[in-house]
Amino acid sequence: MNKNKVSISKQVYRHGDQKIEYTLVRSKRRKTSEIMVDEDQIILRIPSEKSLDHADKLVHGKIRWIINKQKEYREKRPEITKPTFLDRSKVPYLGHNYEIELIKYGNNEDKIEFNDKFTVTLRCEKDSDNTHDKRIKSLYENWLADRSKEVFKDKVIEFSKILKVNPKKIIVKNLKNRWGSLTKNKTINLNQNLMKAPEDVIDYIIIHELCHFKVKGHSHKFWSYLHRYVPNYQDKIDWLAINGSNILS
């Protein structure tokens, strides 16, 4: 059997007349158990040898916290606007929402510039009225990708010195299901969409991945180690849980 084998299943815990659905992830590599909660889902990760009864007991012990946390997420409004990429609409950059100003003219090429707002210049085309949003989105995402490489590189270098670790490579991607990761060959992958988040949230994700040089996995030991560098890391996790869907739009 593969020593790294992971099994994933959907489970239901009954709390009074409520059905609490959660995703159970069993892993042979995991030594401790953890619960992660956002507005839409509950994920419980446990060592593979632990029983379903053990999982239910963990949910039972955290049930009030789980319910309160999901209620908090539902009631708190996202800070980040969901982009529509239209003239006078807003798009996020470093935790703020900035207006798009659209200018149309008849030659040269599409371009985007930022100075307290995003100024987008589009060459005129017969079908432009139907494709403005797609062209603006492409310009904006390419601009973010270019900017993120410089910003992330500087931050990784800065925090690597503090943690005394040595990443071999930084890769920036338009990821859809994670904010960052660390590979076995010491490459750090970062989501370019983090450029839409506040800088302290970007810092948290980068420090989080750098901490994995010292502690693998997400055990209690890992979170204790991370706490040394980001004491309020739970605030960053909460911000991403509330705003994440708009950032990944």
Q: Nearest-CA neighbor of 122 among 148, 86, 96, 89?
A: 86
Quick: pLDDT tens for 105-126: 766 788 999 999 999 998 876 5
For residue 121, the surrounding DSSP H or E stretch is strand 118-123
Cα 82 to the center of its chain, rounded Å: 15
pTM above 0.95, yes or no: no
Give yes or no: residues 46 and 117 share one domain.
no
Per-residue pLDDT, 201? 96
Give yes or no: residues 161 and 113 share one domain.
yes
Per-residue pLDDT, 3? 52
Per-residue pLDDT, 17? 80
Residues of the chain below pLDDT 50 = 1-2
Give yes or no: residues 38 and 133 share one domain.
no
Count structural domains, the chain. 2
Range of the domain at 35: 6-75
Per-residue pLDDT, 1? 39
End position of a domain, from candidates 41, 75, 109 = 75
Per-residue pLDDT, 79? 85
Give yes or no: residues 112 and 231 share one domain.
yes
Tokens of 168: 């071999």
The Cα 241–Cα 238 span in angstroms is 5
